[in-house]
Amino acid sequence: MNMIKVVIAGPRGRMGREAVEMVTKTEQFELLAVLDHKNNGMMLSDIPGFQAVHRVPVYTDIEKCLEEVKADVLIDLTTPEVGMYHAKTALNYGVRPVVGTTGFTKEDLQELEQICRDKNLGCIIAPNFAIGAVLMMKFSQMAAKYFKDIEIIEMHHDQKLDAPSGTAVKTAEMIAAVRESKKQGHPNEKETLDGARGADYDGMKIHSVRLPGLIAHQQVLLGSDGQTLTIRHDSYNRSSFMSGVKAAVESVMKQNSFIYGLENILE
């Protein structure tokens, strides 16, 4: 069995902790090191919550890390600025990134796509690693052929840094690919309170809800004459994302190009 050697960036985060558990429990994966902006030079087992994870060093400097450990894949679960730097650096070291971090700009994605092309390396970025969320996006895209008026309501915990969510933007992009641009609502509608109608994507509306207690939820409301259709997905905990991260780590080893969205690697 060929082991896939992994580095995880952001191990102390909510997603990072789940990823450490998934990687250490997966037989064909080996966790070589973690990247953290704190705790440089420590062992992961010295950090509370990781006592059972043995012989995994903590690095702050990604270049030093990738020079010293020979990794195949970098899983990044940090913040958009850091995630972009990590993904670019990993590719420059011949390491394939699997990125769950959200909030990348279109320009960021284009830049990474170009680096993958230049280096002939795979990179998978997925704004949502939950299989159910990918199906929700696909079903919404199918329905959008028949329902042209669409509002997306995404709901997340109040510690989320970016809005709208990467999943909402990706859903809107997938819908826009099959739906003719249409400005929704009354042509003369006017907001008496700024933001009341939400963000605009190709005429569709996106609304971002942030509340403690939520994890990651989205509903896509589609309206037509005399009927509405609601497609909804809920992640109740962060382990819901890990089967997708695992599939992406396995898949990225076979890829030589940039892939955006889990739906592109699912059979």
Counting contacts by CB under 6 A, is residue 261 touching ligand NAP?
A: no
- Rounded Cα–Cα distance for residues 105 and 7 (Å): 24
- Rounded Cα–Cα distance for residues 228 and 115 (Å): 43
* Residue spans of alpha helices (H) in 41-148: 62-68, 80-92, 106-119, 131-144
Q: 33 vs 204, which CB is nearer to ligand NAP?
A: 33
Query: Which residue among 24, 102, 140, 171 contacts ligand NAP (CB under 6 A)?
Result: 102
Counting contacts by CB under 6 A, is residue 127 touching ligand NAP?
A: yes
The residue at minimum Cβ distance from ligand NAP is 13
Sheet holding 199-201, edge to edge: 199-201, 204-210, 149-156, 216-224, 227-235
Least CB distance to ligand NAP at residue 245 (A): 8
Query: Which residue among 97, 100, 122, 261 contacts ligand NAP (CB under 6 A)?
Result: 100
Counting contacts by CB under 6 A, is residue 16 touching ligand NAP?
A: yes
Residues 187-246 that bind ligand NAP (CB under 6 A): 216, 241
- Rounded Cα–Cα distance for residues 176 and 3 (Å): 40
- 160 labelled catalytic: yes
Q: Which residues contact 13 (CB under 8 A, 6 or more apart)?
A: 77, 78
Counting contacts by CB under 6 A, is residue 79 touching ligand NAP?
A: yes
Encoded amino acid at 77, one letter? L
Encoded amino acid at 175, one letter? I
Counting contacts by CB under 6 A, is residue 164 touching ligand NAP?
A: no
Counting contacts by CB under 6 A, is residue 128 touching ligand NAP?
A: yes
Q: 179 vs 217, which CB is nearer to ligand NAP?
A: 217
Q: 89 vs 102, which CB is nearer to ligand NAP?
A: 102
Token digits for 212?
């403690």
Query: Which residue among 13, 97, 122, 261 contacts ligand NAP (CB under 6 A)?
Result: 13
Q: 13-28 in b/e burial notation, b at 16+ Cβ within 10 A?
A: bebbbbbbbbbbebee
Q: Pick the catalytic residue: 86, 156, 217, 246?
A: 156
Query: Which residue among 7, 8, 15, 175 contacts ligand NAP (CB under 6 A)?
Result: 15
Token digits for 90?
């990993």
- 183 labelled catalytic: no
Q: How many residues bind ligand NAP (CB under 6 A)?
A: 26
For residue 58, give Cα distances in angstroms to 2, 97, 229: 24, 18, 48
Counting contacts by CB under 6 A, is residue 121 touching ligand NAP?
A: no
Q: CA 150, 152, 128, 125 torsion: positive or negative?
A: positive
Q: Pick the catalytic residue: 70, 138, 160, 186?
A: 160
Residues 24-63 that bind ligand NAP (CB under 6 A): 35-38
Q: 156 vs 207, which CB is nearer to ligand NAP?
A: 156
CA atoms in the 13 A half-sphere facing the CB of 34: 30
Binding site residues, ligand NAP, CB under 6 A: 9-10, 12-16, 35-38, 77-79, 82, 100-103, 126-129, 160, 216, 241
Mind telling me the catalytic residues? Answer: 156, 160
